[in-house]
Homo-oligomer: A and B are copies of this chain.
Amino acid sequence: MTISQVDFFYLAMPEILDIGDGSQDALLVRVRSDDGGEGWGECEASPLVSIAAWCAPMSHSACKPVSASVIGRRIEGPDDIRALNRDVRAHSLDLLQADHTLSGVDMALWDLLGRRLDEPVWRLLGWPRAYPKTAYASVLFGDTPAQTLEKACRIAAAGYRAAKFGWGPFGAELTADEAHVRAAREGLGPEVSLMIDAGTVWGEDVEAASLRLPVLEECRVTWIEEPFVSGALGAYAELERQARGSVRTAAGEGSHDPLMARNLIDYGGVGYIQIDAGRVGGITSAYEIARYAERRGVDYVNHTFTTALALSASLHPYAGIERSHICEYPVEASLLARELTAEQLPLDESGRVHPPQRPGLGVSPDPEAIRRYLQPVEIRVGGRTVHTTSEL
């Protein structure tokens, strides 16, 4: 089949708050083939900019819009998607945002192919079976330790076996940080796994991070996530050395290509590599990293804070790795994110999420929900319309 049409739908909540909740908007991608096939994907981060990376006029041979490598392309099997992925990287080498745009397109292509071949994406990728993953409730810290405690109690009561607290006030002041971490542990009780997300707050300041190691160890925190910015490989390696395995580092959501993730593994020495399939180049790149992590004995974890569509796309790439059994599970997503799909990925009685068995990604957006939150986009360059939102 030939890719004949690709459409972008920018959704947003009526009001976007200045908080670390990345589910307040979404960019959906719909791919259609000349023989009536359809697939859906989702790009993480800044919908307008990722649309621009699709439709921008060419600057030169290595700075083409993503569309130049997609429209008119034949897709018959997984290798065709992989080849398309490589071509986008080469032809959009100097277009920085292209990786995020590619991510949603790549997901939609796998969804399209899976529906066509009547197979779930994880099977197309080559996994013989899909293992359930232990969902961790992913939430923001409360503004106060009392609020963090209350959130933790609710999560434990809801039956989660793991939880992660992040962003909010965390990272600014040692004593307050200690109180928040202890509140989280107290609320979860002794049995529920606890992770902490510092949201890159310490830049590359190893000392600031290491001051938190005692409380993280005391509260048996599984990982400290993004203590540093993505590229701070030396800082990651040094914190790992100082922690001596008592707490591991986790990072990778900022990776926008597989090599960035591999460098965090090889030079940063992270214990967990966290990949957002909506940023890294889609399912193709996420799967490549999952296989690499497996070979290097590092645990792969998805990064997902938004919709069931994004969650499904993030599960397929590592569905077949039994040892990588942890899954970020959005529990504070916006109304937009929750309403987007009819299908959800509910937890089983053991707090685990199962990669879908349905064809493709196994999750589709509800057209009514898209209409409800749609932000039409129109872009004109030099008097010519280069983008306008399509009909649903």
> Which A residues are within 8 Å of any B CB, using their own CB?
10, 12, 16-22, 24-25, 44-49, 51-53, 55-63, 89-90, 93-97, 99-100, 167, 199-200, 204, 229-234, 254, 256-257, 259-260, 262-263, 266-267, 279, 375-383, 386
Contacts of A233 in B (CB 8 A): 259, 263, 266-267
What is the bound-complex CA distance between A44 and B266, given in angstroms? 31
A97–B94 touching, CB < 8 Å: no
Contacts of A63 in B (CB 8 A): 22, 45-46
The smallest C-beta distance from A336 to any residue of chain B, in angstroms, reads 12
What is the bound-complex CA distance between A229 and B62, given in angstroms? 13
Contacts of A230 in B (CB 8 A): 259
Interface of A is mostly: loop
A96–B94 touching, CB < 8 Å: no
What is the bound-complex CA distance between A16 and B69, given in angstroms? 17
- 27 A-B pairs (CB sep. < 8 Å): A16-B60, A17-B60, A18-B60, A20-B61, A21-B60, A22-B59, A22-B63, A44-B94, A45-B63, A46-B95, A46-B96, A46-B97, A47-B56, A48-B386, A49-B53, A49-B56, A51-B52, A90-B200, A93-B254, A94-B254, A94-B279, A96-B100, A231-B263, A233-B266, A267-B267, A376-B383, A378-B379
Of B167, B380, B382, which is within 8 A of A12 by CB? B382
Of B12, B45, B199, B379, which is within 8 A of A379 by CB? B379
B376–A378 touching, CB < 8 Å: no
Contacts of A57 in B (CB 8 A): 12, 16, 25, 48, 375
What is the bound-complex CA distance between A254 and B167, given in angstroms? 30
What is the bound-complex CA distance between A202 and B62, given in angstroms? 14
The smallest C-beta distance from A11 to any residue of chain B, in angstroms, reads 10
Contacts of A263 in B (CB 8 A): 231, 233, 263, 267
In the complex, the chain B residue whose C-beta lies closest to that of A45 is: B94
What is the bound-complex CA distance between A61 and B12, given in angstroms? 15
Known A96-B279, A378-B379; 18 more pairs at CB < 8 Å: A12-B382, A16-B57, A18-B61, A21-B60, A22-B63, A46-B63, A46-B94, A49-B49, A61-B167, A62-B199, A93-B229, A96-B97, A229-B259, A230-B259, A232-B259, A233-B259, A233-B267, A379-B380
